[in-house]
Amino acid sequence: MFHITERLLLRPAWPEDAEALFGGIADEGVVRNLARAPWPYLPEHAREFVKREQDQRVPNFLMTLPGEHGSRIIGSIGLGETETGVELGYWIARPYWGQGYATEAGLGVLEVAKLLGYRQIEAGHFLDNPASGRVLRKLGFRPTGRVAKRYSCARGADVDCALFELNLDQTKVAPPMAA
């Protein structure tokens, strides 16, 4: 599955992406904010990630910046199943923080989620990562007021996670208009 936004091509991971993926995620500042990625993140973890079979009901994408010499991987974003529903998750390589890519990719994935028939999407962020909370709010997610312990593989511990929800029936999912 593919999706195009204003600046990004969201696409599946391919085996030949392993090295570039590793170059973006092998940063403790990135990995510590993820629940499932280990630290240290090793090249074999990237190779395993790009070989994972995709479930089209909960797609995962590489965020890529198209360019004249191919595309550059700047992160990953997708949907995942939880005990209570479907969750949005993402990461962005450090050189691309603060440039609106997470919000842009998030809007794209929420469009896909709506097309797949989802009505409710969950998300969360570790309390010591408030930037992720700002992205979720820009996407229309609302805090539930609940904080839950979520295991962080990279930290090897349970970490407080603020929980958010988004009702796609009550939210217009479209790219923001340019000013």
Is residue 39 within 8 A of residue 31, CB to CB? The reply is: yes
Confirm whether 176 is domain-assigned: no
Confirm whether 178 is domain-assigned: no
Confirm whether 93 is domain-assigned: yes
Structure confidence by residue, pLDDT tens digits, 22-78:
999 999 999 999 999 999 999 999 999 999 998 999 999 999 999 866 789 999 999
Rounded percentage of the chain residues whose pLDDT exceeds 90: 89
| Percent helix, percent strand, percent coil in the chain, to nearest 5 | 30, 35, 35
pLDDT of residue 173: 62
Confirm whether 162 is domain-assigned: yes
Residue 89's domain spans which residues?
3-170
Q: Which residues sit opposite 78 in a β-bridge?
A: 60, 89
Confirm whether 132 is domain-assigned: yes
The predicted model scores a pTM of 0.91
Q: State the CATH number of the domain containing residue 61.
A: 3.40.630.30
Nearest one of 126, 147, 146, 130 to 138, comparing CA atoms: 130
Confirm whether 157 is domain-assigned: yes
Check pLDDT > 70 for residue 85: yes
Check pLDDT > 90 for residue 167: yes
Q: Please name the residue ranges forming H helices in the chain.
A: 18-25, 28-31, 43-51, 101-115, 130-138
